[in-house]
Structure 1
Amino acid sequence: MDSAANSSATSVDLLPDAEPLAIPARPELTGGRRIGVLLSHGFTGQPASMKPWARALADEGYGVIVPRLPGHGTRWQDLNRSTYDEWYGEASRVFDSLCLDHDIVVVAGLSMGGSLVLRLAEDHADKITGVILVNPAVATKRLDVKLLPVLKHLVPAFPGIASDIKKPGTNEYGYTRTPLKAAHSMMIGWRSVVANLGKVSAPVLYFRSRIDHVVDGLSEVVIARNISSTDLDMVYLEDSYHVATLDNDLPTIIKLSLDFLARVTAAAPAS
């Protein structure tokens, strides 16, 4: 049975399917070892964007947790009152709980969630066996970003970036507005992630949509050039937009991530 990954999820009104998700590991399916996977959603998104992928991994015996990051899954105004450090704090809390209950841990993230799990891989290189990224965001070519320190005091939000999905009729139930104070906090948070990419030594599986209307190509260049991992598998998705975890290429993400998990955990010693 699915269970909440944090107790605060029921204390506020949530958007559809925004509850955190936690499914216990079944070590009888994974060689007797308890293998945990943290899956983080992106900026202005929420757990719904990660749940189909998480449940597919759980079906194969992996323990999965999809947290709801602070300020997400409720109202965009709530997000404008939260910060990158708080989002990373929640990701860290869930990661620590996975480490306590599992022999091996892999981290995965979509968009801003990708930057959060990269930072985990920087801070906990000795505890993370693999990193899976889907259209991660750590940088941008957009010139208007330079104006955020001023704009955030003049305009509370811009039009939303959620549900950039090619598949008809699919919705991640993210915010219809992009809160600027929160966006500025995220981009400040990127600085530390980028500065420490050389500490990412774990194997990395990187999914990148050929057409992405949210994250431009700079993040791919920055990550690929600066991580120290010698095991980087870049997979380009031909039939999905930004939220590829709900799009036409989800079967590819599931298959290749299961292959990756089997490979990187096979030789990993239990913690």
Structure 2
Amino acid sequence: MSLEQLIGENGFIEGKGQDAVLLVHGLTGTPAEMKHYGKVLARKGLTAVCPVLAGHCASIKTLTATTWQDWVSSIEQVFLEMRKRYRKVFIAGLSMGALIALMVAARYKEAVAGVILLSVTLFYDGWNMPPFKQRFLLPIVLYTPLKYFVHWEETAPYGIKCERTRALVAAILDNKDAQASEKIGYFKTPATVILESVRLIRQAKKQLADVVSPVLIVHSTEDDMASIKNAHYVEKRLGSRDIQTMYISDTYHVLTLDKRKDDIAKRSAEFCLALAH
């Protein structure tokens, strides 16, 4: 399959640079959440490629039919195709997408020019995540037949501090737009999908030491879903000798859509361009 076929109808390619960044959107998200980020990278001289994760931009039924291995495999295929076309290939992932980026980097070592971790999520311990549900209720659901009947519904602030952007998300949800999953992703996550994400987290933790590419960790000090402890955890355990950090305020979990999105995209471009030349 060609690169254009692999990224899917809702994926995108921005820019015409010789060096490229493979963008991995978050679990239950869509390439739309990476669009602005990709455009900034393209303006800086890079090519941004964002595929649709396996099972996404479709129906909940389609999503629940996939596993974490399917998500990783869909990104691996795009990475290998990009290696044929571009001089250097970087990977930037958001939230669970950051874990997928790590998994690919752990497997392909130096072939990955660099990794950008945006709101890397190993623990759902942000200030908007109820600890009682995480510690007691979640295991009861995930490891019993209840997982086939229960879903978690995300509520405001939706990982976004910017009131204007948050209002746009809320408007789409209020209108009950049938195509909302293609625009902003799923805000009702089946427990079976959460279970797959837990398995992905476990596997990613085991492979942190195998990541040897340069890494840029970007994390908000105000993250509502995954506290900055996630970034610290990863930083201490990566095998890379070149680890840079950008701890940023005035933004929540979805860094690519929030108040500091331009600052984050520019810093990401600087990271890649410095390594590309």
Aligned residues: 249
Query: What aligned pairs does 1:146-185 form with structure 2 within 5 A after superposition?
Result: 146-147=139-140, 148-150=142-144, 152-160=146-154, 163-170=158-165, 171=169, 173-185=184-196
1:48 to 22, 32, 53: 32
Q: Retained in 1: the 8 A contact 2:15–2:39?
A: no
Q: Displacement of 1:68 after TM fit?
A: 0.8
Q: Is 1:107 aligned to 2:91, yes or no?
A: yes
Q: TM (normalized to structure 1)?
A: 0.84
2:14 to 14, 23, 42: 23
| Matched letter for residue 227 of structure 1 | L
Q: Displacement of 1:64 after TM fit?
A: 1.7
Q: Displacement of 1:157 after TM fit?
A: 1.0
* d(CA) in 1 for partners of 2:120, 2:144: 26
Please, which runs of 5 or more residues in structure 1 have no aligned partner?
11-18, 27-33, 267-271
* d(CA) in 2 for partners of 1:53, 1:4: 20
* d(CA) in 1 for partners of 2:54, 2:155: 18
1:57 to 41, 53, 66: 41
* d(CA) in 2 for partners of 1:238, 1:25: 32
1:219 alignment partner in structure 2: 230
1:69 to 53, 69, 72: 53
Q: Retained in 1: the 8 A contact 2:150–2:190?
A: yes
2:129 alignment partner in structure 1: none
Q: TM (normalized to structure 2)?
A: 0.83
1:254 to 265, 268, 275: 265
More helix, by proportion: 2
- State the superposition RMSD in angstroms: 2.2
1:238 alignment partner in structure 2: 249
Q: SS at 1:38's partner residue?
A: strand
**Residues 112-141 of structure 1 deviation map (CA, whole Å, 9 limit, x = unaligned):** 000000011100112011111110113445
1:6 alignment partner in structure 2: 5
Q: Displacement of 1:214 after TM fit?
A: 1.8
* d(CA) in 2 for partners of 1:179, 1:161: 15
Q: Retained in 1: the 8 A contact 2:115–2:216?
A: yes
1:15 alignment partner in structure 2: none
1:119 alignment partner in structure 2: 103
Please, which runs of 5 or more residues in structure 2 have no aligned partner?
126-133, 170-182
**Residues 184-230 of structure 1 deviation map (CA, whole Å, 9 limit, x = unaligned):** 01111222211111111111111111122222344323311210212
Larger RCO, structures 1/2 (Cα 8 Å, 6+ apart): 2
* d(CA) in 1 for partners of 2:116, 2:100: 11
2:176 alignment partner in structure 1: none
**Residues 57-107 of structure 1 deviation map (CA, whole Å, 9 limit, x = unaligned):** 112221221011122223333322211111101110110111111111110
**Residues 126-174 of structure 1 deviation map (CA, whole Å, 9 limit, x = unaligned):** 2011111110113445314433122653533111269311112323712
Q: 1:249 to 1:201 in 2, by over 3 A?
A: same
Q: Retained in 1: the 8 A contact 2:6–2:78?
A: no
